[in-house]
Structure 1
């Protein structure tokens, strides 16, 4: 492996702080990051190694029939918008039949479409129309648990002798008659639920309405593989895998010595990432690769370190193709040093596998609200989007992110009654509000009463108004996505880590095999930062994108405005 030749940078901040940026020396990572990513880029890569995948919560994206609930035909209706935006694939959260104790993540039939979302014919039409537009469609596959209303579980709990009894995790009571262990559910309370008719407890790491499937049972594994085959035959380009760390438990059933202050509930040594999980994921991967078209597995995971994340790819890269990087997502504030550390470790310690960078999703507050300071939210949104979308690997977006949709405020939810459309109030409702297509009643999402309230921000924050405003966040995202596709360095090039020593500025480069590339500068402060760049052995090209109109392509002394973004093309010497 050769050391990356990006040159040496010396940057001087406005207050006189001298900052030195160097490509990481060879001994800092084995192999050196840029050389490593160049090697990966030199091979023919599947589409998903540099894709932008757009997550859609179908219930809130587009209602096509006026019942206040988004549906599959609504997604089809908006495919032209998604093509225009420039995404490569869409990931649909669960649309299976469900009692909706966890809004779809409690599945009562894995091979059907819930009536409120449409029919299998609607699904087939969606995938067909998406294919015509060059957009792939991914299914959210809930591996760890089903609904307690699934026919499998109804059979399993019917008697101890039922053939499907072992498809779920059952255990005798403790000697005192109580739960078998003191383990706690991720959603609170005991992870065991007593079933009086059969005199045993069943295990659920989430809600009691979500009993865990027993992946140690070969028949259950085969049934879940058949579920995957069903959707692959119906045009799915792959799966986002839900709750993969929890497929197996320590069957010695140890007591937890420190339930309250030990490891987080989702990272207990007895319930998370057990060795058998690795083999189960390899088995599912074999099913997916048996279909043509570079089908893919995108995975939710539970990790506490970059070494944990590396293991999720598999020792031979034969488990989850794209494990989501929650270390990056979970950076709590707009902190340049923290982000730079997370980005660099993803490049240096994942052995060249594509990182998966993202912020917002259906379980996480929207980034516009999370990082915004109340005054510069749009400018900050340009920073977070530029960072995620100029990095190597795969990027995830969440519907509405591209227009700066905020979370619903508490008072917007307070007076909304519960009912058939919204059976329970969920603490994740603020980030699941209807897509804001226009300023009118229903925000273009529905002609009826929406299942969750439309945010009051829809009056000014919506697709229709931003479409006609070239300076809008929507156009910023569209330009970023176009640049990501068309710029050789951003599409396939190496990531070159640059160390600024400045707690306010993130700086890195992307470089193609010819030595040309893009310098990325992100000012995460509310003050000007003037940078003096020395020894950069490259020639400045155009300013590809900038948050400041008319910014010069200056590689020696650029000035970044508060929360400024600069993407500058360069030619190697």
Structure 2
């Protein structure tokens, strides 16, 4: 940690105290990212990036069929550039039967017709590159669809060359499943194949048979998939379901199926030591590609120390493992969040943490944390916490305008059919992007595959772009500060104490000694603080409010008072 007394100089930011809520005049102007070739960037962009997750089916429909597509994403790149993100992660757009909406892949090197063509993908990456935006492919590496040609060959006979590309096992002595393990999606992890009289393993749906990463042929095929997308302009991969590549080869029964670790974190089905060699080889492949390609990992772990291992003992595995210990939290508890923030900055062996809330698998943070009264203030707070902490931050499309989950009433009468082959419990957080208040929300001119939320009439990009006090412009201000201030972009983390069980306090500090104090009141009551933990016990001077959700905020670096669910960012220096 850099001392607050080391090489201090006057704060370059000349922002006035008493900033009015979301008033753009008091923050750096939101500027479009320079249209530079991302290949020329020499610093490790990913250590402090903001990556924006796009569920393509719901982002922008370019042809009126009610399903978002790759051309639609390309049409919205100017918006993404103006927002100030560094990269987009596009969830699966491959050919798929859609038992799990794309996460059951039937062709790893194709584009599903509803999403467009390979030419559309190539154009997307070209246009993104012109705007300084990288594009990550969601690589489903644990399993394929049961309709993939590989699996069709594998189940053709026990002697088929691709049989061992999947995980097969003889029945138990009683003729039943080999073990009593449960699938993450419910039921047994085993499905019987009558033709070959063996069971195949699936930790997710039965339509998603697990790949056998111990097989060299399977490894080569998947490495070829990576090289294919890198050659087609991808800047790396979001790796799906990384903990589940190997299982305990002794196949023990679980002595307590319903107890102990959650079903996806059992010692026999996740985080196996064998995975490290596989991830190191994937890292070598992206490291060999031009332009600092990366691996972003869906890396659920039981502890922060287990998460540290996912980076690799020599920081040579996943560049950015997602921190689910933070992302799975759904209740505002300052003590819990402070512990997670402190741990992520102190116990990951110096590697960048990855913070997120909303995703295609998580309830939107507006819904998860909102109390029905202070929703807007809470949304600003959760955004500030994620975007001012160190490392890399993930955003989910629409969170920047305060999109909420679809309600049960909005989903009740939505039919199943070609556009929506199954009803998924995660449908509420996958609704179409709310671009305008018009019919179709600016997402489509046709009938959308899921309904556009009724709230789109007032909660949409067009309306919020024109409102300087909107949550969208709050995000834009946060992203601008993160980009322009060295303390927030890559500064060290200072684990302050707020002296109040309901308030999170921490600071970010750059090499010159300029810093940003972050204060987050996670309660519905006014709170007074007694901030401690400054180096040498000396409270810094010359505080200036950078951004606040509390209009009457004043500068006090020792004993500030925060309104209910208030957020305050204060620039400081020490004499």
**Corresponding position of 2:425:** 427
**Corresponding position of 2:376:** 378
Matched residues in 2 for 1:328 and 1:533: separation?
A: 24
**Corresponding position of 1:336:** 334
1:331 Cα offset (Å): 2.0
Distance 1:429 1:533, change over 3 A: closer
Secondary structure at the aligned position of 2:518 is classed as strand
Query: Is 2:558 the partner of 1:560?
Result: no
Alpha-carbon displacement from aligned partner over 1:24-45 (angstroms, at most 9, x marks no partner): xxxxxxxxxxxxxxxxxxxx84
Secondary structure at the aligned position of 2:114 is classed as coil
Match of 1:216 among 208, 214, 217: 214
Match of 1:143 among 130, 141, 144: 141
Matched residues in 1 for 2:213 and 2:392: separation?
A: 29
Alpha-carbon displacement from aligned partner over 1:298-320 (angstroms, at most 9, x marks no partner): 00122111111101111111111
**Corresponding position of 2:49:** 51
Matched residues in 1 for 2:339 and 2:560: separation?
A: 23
C-alpha contact 2:539 2:558 (8 A) present in aligned 1: no
Match of 2:279 among 278, 281, 287: 281
C-alpha contact 1:514 1:572 (8 A) present in aligned 2: no
**Corresponding position of 1:163:** 161
Alpha-carbon displacement from aligned partner over 1:6-26 (angstroms, at most 9, x marks no partner): 59xxxxxxxxxxxxxxxxxxx
Q: TM-score, normalised by structure 1?
A: 0.92
**Corresponding position of 1:440:** 438
- Name structure 2 gaps, 5 residues minimum: 6-41
Equivalent residues in 2 for 1:89-488 (5 A)?
Answer: 89-488=87-486
**Corresponding position of 2:68:** 70
Tell me the C-alpha RMSD between the 2 structures.
Answer: 1.3
**Corresponding position of 2:13:** none
Alpha-carbon displacement from aligned partner over 1:444-493 (angstroms, at most 9, x marks no partner): 00000000011111111110100100000000000100100001111121
1:174 Cα offset (Å): 1.4
**Corresponding position of 1:27:** none
Alpha-carbon displacement from aligned partner over 1:18-75 (angstroms, at most 9, x marks no partner): xxxxxxxxxxxxxxxxxxxxxxxxxx84000000000000000000000000000000
Q: TM-score, normalised by structure 2?
A: 0.91
Matched residues in 1 for 2:538 and 2:132: separation?
A: 39
**Corresponding position of 1:538:** 540
Match of 1:61 among 53, 59, 62: 59
Secondary structure at the aligned position of 1:447 is classed as coil
Matched residues in 1 for 2:558 and 2:496: separation?
A: 15
C-alpha contact 1:100 1:106 (8 A) present in aligned 2: yes
C-alpha contact 2:183 2:202 (8 A) present in aligned 1: yes
Secondary structure at the aligned position of 1:449 is classed as coil
Alpha-carbon displacement from aligned partner over 1:308-367 (angstroms, at most 9, x marks no partner): 110111111111110000111122311111100000011111111000000000000000
**Corresponding position of 1:19:** none
Matched residues in 1 for 2:377 and 2:538: separation?
A: 28
Matched residues in 1 for 2:496 and 2:43: separation?
A: 25
Secondary structure at the aligned position of 1:387 is classed as helix
1:516 Cα offset (Å): 1.1
Q: How many residues align structurally?
A: 535
**Corresponding position of 1:549:** 551
Secondary structure at the aligned position of 1:275 is classed as coil
1:4 Cα offset (Å): 4.9
Matched residues in 2 for 1:134 and 1:396: separation?
A: 17
1:122 Cα offset (Å): 0.1
Match of 1:516 among 510, 514, 517: 514
C-alpha contact 1:347 1:355 (8 A) present in aligned 2: yes
